[in-house]
Amino acid sequence: MKKLINDPNAVVADALSGLAAAHPGLLYVSHVPAYVRRADAPIAGKVALVSGGGSGHEPLHTGYVGPGMLDAACPGQVFTSPTPDQIHAATLAVSGGAGVLYVVKNYTGDVLNFEVAQELARGDGIEVESVVVADDVAVRDSLYTAGRRGVGGTVFVEKIAGAKAEAGATLAEVRAVAERAATNVRSMGVALTSCAVPAVGRPTFDLGDDEMEVGIGIHGEPGRSRMPLRPADDVVDMIMEPVLDDLGVVAGDEVAVLVNGMGGTPLIELYVAAKRVAEVLASRRLEAPIWLVGNYITSLEMAGLSLTALRLDAELKALVLAPARTLAWPTGVATQ
Amino acid sequence: MKKLINDPNAVVADALSGLAAAHPGLLYVSHVPAYVRRADAPIAGKVALVSGGGSGHEPLHTGYVGPGMLDAACPGQVFTSPTPDQIHAATLAVSGGAGVLYVVKNYTGDVLNFEVAQELARGDGIEVESVVVADDVAVRDSLYTAGRRGVGGTVFVEKIAGAKAEAGATLAEVRAVAERAATNVRSMGVALTSCAVPAVGRPTFDLGDDEMEVGIGIHGEPGRSRMPLRPADDVVDMIMEPVLDDLGVVAGDEVAVLVNGMGGTPLIELYVAAKRVAEVLASRRLEAPIWLVGNYITSLEMAGLSLTALRLDAELKALVLAPARTLAWPTGVATQ
């Protein structure tokens, strides 16, 4: 697979250099150890939000660093957990004295390394709490984790916790609303093609010219089943129905929806999928006042999509719609 | 090539249905004839901006409809010009009595059909002016047009003209600043893979496993040369230097930069490219206070990127940084 890179082992470092050069007004980039923080951090008296994970899922998490979302993001190597020293350094850099919340996707390495960093920060006298996102209904356990994987729901958790922290809430309050968001969000994805990790140089898995992998993980981990590619409406039904069933929504509920591209799917196809998502929601008499449609959490150049539904209450809705200023949060969402 | 679609001939119609379902607070979608307008249009007394072009380049143009950018966008079929009746209907729908400006990419069909629509609107007593964007330095003429092709510079022209119109300027003033933006912007692209038009079902062109097409057009039209794939730094040099040379920038000039993905290139690779773009700019002692990095004008699932530079003056800079509220304009840009 062709890559627009220099050295396969320098992809993350080069991309961080690009990020630093392009957005100095918004972001500060530390190269060793690697983390990206708000240029104006630390904010005295504000709860700080730190996330991170393997690279290759951009814009997650660096694209969500900025006022109203994350204070810092720690990018690991491609599809590799960030190390405790990265997370610890980011924590020290953004701590404003009101505590720090970690938003962690449920992968064994991520959970472990954030736990170590939490211990280190507590040793420094910084109060740290964590919320783990485990929203993928496709499989119970997988290659990289025990329990459900953390995927697209993470974007909503980061937005909600970020807005709550920006509003001046305490660490306990930010953690509580982040937990409530994580509890009320579900996702599932499908892949039409594999991706290739630059340092590996070959596709992560093989998929036939007429096949799709239903329930794909964001690192190309196996899903529920492999089957012939079907029309978009059928594909949406196959992944949206389990998401809504597992979430347990009932007629009259409000949900926020993420129709997410995995990196290689044209935006026009995501809107074809959005059409069917709207039909599924209508058939269940669900209201969807908030939609994100685009590449929000990707798997390098993988073709495919994931669907995420977040059950809203008045506070969660207001927090998703609250202002934010980041590279990947769109200006148009607050208008709903 | 695998597509997440239903009927190859219904892709645009399905996607418009998705757009209508997802963003009713921001957009109103007319299906026949097809156009997308601001939900709150027409705005009395404001110059209205209308653009359009073939589908398959999303988020261009529908992603730029909203306060501070376009009043309406007219999507043609994939890689096919919108028809005069679409453009005429959009013009009638958004005209607020202060005149209408068309932003047209320089393709023969687009230019012709916008001209016909302009005549129709003038027959209705609506004052209409046009600005044609022709920023691609790769080739002089091409398959689809006489003269240079209109590509990534269009995003900046739409932002600048939109901000000027939003500020209450007259049609003559909006046209003048749009022309100034169009005169001061240059682009060039490179493809690593082809794309496939859904209704055709096969790749638009063939490219070897180790080849790239330098100077690619956004419909897959041939560029300047085909050659073995090179490291990202070399690729950036090969397309950024001609862009800057043609623009005629000199040390001390300020530019806005667009590092644009063609649809199938991971964001992390675009930031690898951004690193080198910053080095090239520094070597010429150019300042770049504004960067867009992401998928802003695509060619379906094509892998590759294009680079755009806009020479700034104080007014152009302020207009790019002015607020906008659209699906694809990021919240983070105004912070530079």
Architecture per CATH, A11-180: 3-Layer(aba) Sandwich (3.40)
- Selecting from B229, B276, B328 the residue whose C-beta is nearest the C-beta of A2 gives B229
Contact of B11 with chain A, judged by CB distance below 8 Å, is answered with yes
- The answer to whether B272 contacts A6, with C-beta atoms less than 8 Å apart, is yes
The structural architecture, per CATH, of the domain B185-335 is 2-Layer Sandwich (3.30)
Chain B residues close to A263, C-beta within 8 Å: 264, 266-267
Alpha helices in B167-313 (DSSP H): 171-183, 232-247, 267-283
Hey, is the C-beta of B208 within 8 angstroms of any chain A C-beta?
no
Gyration radius of chain B's alpha carbons: 19
Using CB atoms, pick whichever of A301, A328, A336 lies closest to residue B265.
A301
Residue B35, beta-bridge partner list: B30
Please answer whether residues B46 and B166 qualify as being in contact, where contact means their C-beta atoms are separated by less than 8 angstroms. Answer: yes
Among candidates B21, B58, B210 on the partner chain, residue whose Cβ is nearest the Cβ of A275: B21
User: How big is chain B, counted in residues?
Assistant: 336
- How far apart are the C-alpha atoms of B164 and A123, rounded to whole Å? 54
Bridge partners, residue B197, by sequence = none
Name which of A169, A138, A47, A155 is nearest A99 in CA terms: A47
Residues of B in contact with A5 (CB under 8 A): 231-232, 269, 272
Q: What per-residue confidence (pLDDT) applies to B70?
A: 98
Nearest chain B CA: its distance from A16 CA (Å): 7
Instruction: Choose the closest CB to A4 out of B19, B232, B325.
Output: B232
Residue A219 is a catalytic residue: yes
Contacts (Cβ under 8 Å, ≥6 apart) of B39: B24, B25, B26, B27, B28
DSSP conformation letters of A165-216: HHTT--HHHHHHHHHHHHHTEEEEEEESS--B-TTT-SBSS---TTEEEET-
pLDDT at A143: 76
Of B264, B291, B301, nearest to A22 by CB-CB distance is: B291
| A257 and B CB contact within 8 Å | yes
**8 Å CB contact of B301 and A303:** yes
Of B266, B275, B327, the CB nearest to A330: B327
Compute CA A173 distance to the chain's CA centroid, rounded to the nearest angstrom.
21
CB atoms within 10 A of CB A248: 10
For residue A204, pLDDT beyond 60:
yes
The tokens for A250 are: 């009932």
Nearest residue in B to A3, CA atom? B269
Of B214, B212, B276, nearest to B242 by C-alpha is B214
Of A23, A57, A61, A88, which residue is the catalytic one? A57
Question: In Å, what is the CA distance from A274 to each residue of A68, A204, B12?
Answer: 27, 28, 13
Scanning every residue of chain A, which has its alpha carbon at the shortest distance from the alpha carbon of B4? A232
Question: Does the CB of B321 have a partner CB in chain A at under 8 Å?
Answer: no
> Per the CB < 8 Å rule, is B14 touching A272?
yes
Q: What rounded mean pLDDT belongs to chain A? A: 96
Q: Is the peptide bond before A219 cis (omega within 30 degrees of 0)?
A: no
Catalytic residue (one of A23, A61, A88, A219):
A219
CB-based contact B18 A278, cutoff 8 Å: yes
pLDDT of residue B142: 78
Contact with chain A for residue B271, Cβ under 8 A: yes
Chain A contact present for B191, CB below 8 A: no
Number of residue pairs across A and B with CB atoms under 8 Å? 260
As a whole number of angstroms, the distance between CA A207 and CA A250 comes to 36
B286 forms beta bridges with none
Q: Between B45 and A224, name the one with better pLDDT.
A: B45
CB contact under 8 A, B22 and A257: yes
Determine which of A12, A271, A277, A287 to mutate to test the interface with B (most B C-beta atoms within 10 Å). A271
Closest-approach residue (CA) in chain A for B236? A4
Q: Where are the beta strands (DSSP E) in chain B?
A: 27-30, 35-38, 48-55, 72-78, 100-105, 128-133, 185-191, 211-214, 225-228, 254-261, 287-294, 304-311
Q: Is A235 on the interface with B (CB under 8 A)?
A: yes
- Is B268 in CB contact (< 8 Å) with chain A? yes
Straight-line distance from the first to the last Cα atom of chain B, in angstroms, rounded to the nearest whole number: 40
Residues 119 through 148 of chain A touching chain B, CB cutoff 8 Å: none
CB contact under 8 A, A271 and B19: yes
Q: How far is B153 from chain A (nearest CA, A)?
A: 18
Q: Is A113 on the interface with B (CB under 8 A)?
A: no
Angle, CA A321 vertex, CA B164 and CA A157 arms, to 5°: 130
> Which chain A residues are within 8 Å of B194, Cβ to Cβ?
none
Q: Is A323 within 8 Å of chain B by CB? A: yes
Instruction: Read off the pLDDT of residues A90-149 as tens digits, 9 standing for 90 and up.
Output: 999 999 999 999 999 999 999 999 999 999 999 999 999 999 999 999 988 777 788 999
Q: Do the Cβ atoms of B263 and A266 come within 8 Å? A: yes
* Rounded-to-integer distance, Cα B72 and Cα B326, Å: 12
* DSSP codes of every residue in B277-328: HHHHHHHTT-EEEEEEEE-SS--TT--EEEEEEEE--HHHHHHHHS----SS
Low-confidence ranges of chain B (pLDDT < 50): 335-336
Residue numbers in B near A272 (CB within 8 A): 4-6, 11, 14-15, 18
Per-domain residue ranges for chain B? 11-180, 185-335
**What's the number of CA atoms in the CB half-sphere (13 Å) around residue B39?**
14
Distance CA(A229)–CA(A247), nearest Å, equals 26
User: Is some CB atom of chain B closer than 8 A to the CB atom of A268?
Assistant: yes
Whether the predicted pLDDT of A336 surpasses 50: no
Cβ within 8 Å, pair B332-A66: yes
Whole-angstrom distance, CA of residue B181 vs CA of residue B183? 5
Hey, is the C-beta of B44 within 8 angstroms of any chain A C-beta? no
Indicate if ipTM > 0.90.
yes
User: Which pLDDT does position B146 carry in this prediction?
Assistant: 83
CB atoms within 10 A of CB A168: 12
Residues in B closer than 8 angstroms to A334, CB to CB, are 325
Indicate the Cα dihedral angle B49, B50, B56, B59, nearest 10°: 20
Token pair 């680079």 is at which residue? B307
Annotated catalytic, B88?
no
DSSP A43-96: -TTSPEEEEEEEESSTTTTGGGBSTTSBSEEEEEEETSPPPHHHHHHHHHHH--
Roughly how many angstroms between the first and final C-alpha of chain A, as a whole number?
39
